[in-house]
Amino acid sequence: MTAINAPQDKYNAVWIIFFILGLGTLLPWNFFMTATMYFTSRLKDPAIEGSVNLTVVEADTRNVLESKFNNVMTLCAMVPLLIFTCLNSFIHQRIHQNVRIAGSLSVILLVFLLTAVLVKVDMSPLPFFCLTMIKIICINSFGAVLQGSLFGLAGMLPASYTAPIMSGQGLAGTFAAFSMICALASGSALQDSAFGYFITACVVVFLAILSYFALPRMDFFQYYLESNGSRPAGRNEENKMDLLEKDSPAQNRPEVSLTEEETRSNISVFAIFKRIWVMALSVCFVFTITIGTFPAVTVDVRSTVADGGAWDKYFIPVSCFLLFNVMDWAGRSLTALCMWPGKDSIILPVMVGLRVVFVPLFMLCNVQPRNYLPVPFAHDAWYILFMIFFSFSNGYLASLCMCFGPKKVAQHEAETAGAIMAFFLSLGLALGAALSFVFRIII
């Protein structure tokens, strides 16, 4: 089969499905992070309303759990994400994609249903803290398998079909940031806001599950899946035809399928990495710089324009979180229209490397408290300008790398290449999280 004979993606249905799946990949975790204030408030307030006579030990336990919540949450998120993304790169050929994708989405849905229910249940701080961390580990473990599997699946389609996953992930952050601002503006209670977050996440994940099960019905998707040598379970009619064709003359039977199956069984992860290492390290570096700076450094920038007014309250939610996610989403979405520079161009890794300049630029903004560095970029306009270019370049360059990686190998190796790219994306997140402590200390 050739691309000339490929059916059309009617109504861009496959593109939209991958967009929804990308949204379902990160929206739950983004909503979980947005509700951090809710979690810390549950650790701060008495588990039973009216119980104000706390012992010294109980008070100390609450203080320790509250102060360490963000650090432990980051650790419980990044370590499983990295480990399971790595595992997915090796085991994806042994576990059917329906199990990896639909199964992961189902577990994430159950975790968020449980989280929504627990909003209305009183618990003492220590059990609540432990249960929350277990849920974070589950979300990121299965989310890693889901993300790696989705990028691997998209790698078997044309390069432009990785873009909707990246775009959907970008919208997830935008949606979560917008929800946070709406909650601030409404003045609603943290408990009510958190319950709304988790129910919304459940609805989106359920929609992603329905979208995934609709995917095999698309002729466009089936064409590329079969040309890759993969046949989904349940294709009974085609299986019957294959049995009938065994009795037909040899010249009438396509020999390419056997070759593809033999080749797929001998795919080498390390051989593929040798061909995509530039794209893999590039996407890793993009997210190392991004997570190392955002939000650890950027969230501590203080406005020099506002003087105790409303802008003080909304400066970080708008200029940091919302602006970053909107421009990141714009950069990811642009790759659906423009994919410059090309996959073999030296300009792409050079542009990725140049993003390191954003680290000192943000450090020299009005980050507070600070001990060592001066503040040459004190005005809010500098911070906003840097944030626009920082976030847009993150979305655009990361999306380009993720699109190009699977296209630098043979078609039957594209799924493995996509899984490897997802691993290096997660590695960049983990390295960035570790560097963020160093960057903040330097200031």
- pLDDT score, position 295: 81
Cα separation of 8 and 286, whole Å?
34
Q: Quick count: other Cβ atoms within 10 Å of Cβ 183?
A: 22
Task: Say if residue 46's pLDDT is above 60.
Answer: no
Segment 263-298, tens digit of pLDDT: 444 567 888 889 999 999 999 999 999 988 888 888
- pLDDT score, position 239: 42
- pLDDT score, position 403: 87
Residue 140 half-sphere exposure toward CB, CA atoms < 13 A: 25
DSSP class per residue in 227-275: HTT---TT-HHHHHHHHHHTTS-GGGS-SHHHHHHHHHHT--HHHHHHH
Task: Say if residue 390's pLDDT is above 70.
Answer: yes
Task: Say if residue 22's pLDDT is above 60.
Answer: yes
Amino acid found at 125: P
- pLDDT score, position 55: 62
Output the six-digit token pair for 330.
């714009």
Q: Which domains are assigned to the chain?
A: 8-266 (1.20.1250.20), 267-443 (1.20.1250)
pTM above 0.85, yes or no: no
For residue 360, what pLDDT band results from cuts at 50, 70 and 90?
very high
Task: Say if residue 206's pLDDT is above 50.
Answer: yes
Contact between residue 137 and residue 107 where contact means Cβ atoms under 8 Å apart: no
> Which of 158-167, 358-367, 388-397 is least confident?
158-167
Task: Say if residue 144's pLDDT is above 70.
Answer: yes
Query: How far is residue 376 from each of residues 292, 364, 367, 383, measured CA to CA in Å?
Result: 21, 6, 11, 11
- pLDDT score, position 62: 63
* Mean pLDDT of the region 305-316: 79
Cα separation of 63 and 40, whole Å?
10
List the one residue out of 51, 291, 31 whose CA is nearest residue 182.
Answer: 31
- pLDDT score, position 250: 43
How large is the greatest C-alpha to C-alpha distance in the chain, in angstroms? 87
Task: Say if residue 53's pLDDT is above 60.
Answer: no
- pLDDT score, position 75: 76
- pLDDT score, position 229: 55
* Mean pLDDT of the region 248-258: 43
- pLDDT score, position 406: 87
- pLDDT score, position 261: 45
* Between 66 and 12, residue with greater pLDDT: 12
Burial 321-330 (b: 16+ CB within 10 A, else e): bbbbbbbbbb
Task: Say if residue 49's pLDDT is above 60.
Answer: no
Write down the mean pLDDT value for the chain. 81
3-state DSSP call for residue 315? helix
Output the six-digit token pair for 254.
């396509």
Contact between residue 89 and residue 417 where contact means Cβ atoms under 8 Å apart: no
* Mean pLDDT of the region 36-58: 62
For residue 249, what pLDDT band results from cuts at 50, 70 and 90?
very low
For residue 359, what pLDDT band results from cuts at 50, 70 and 90?
very high
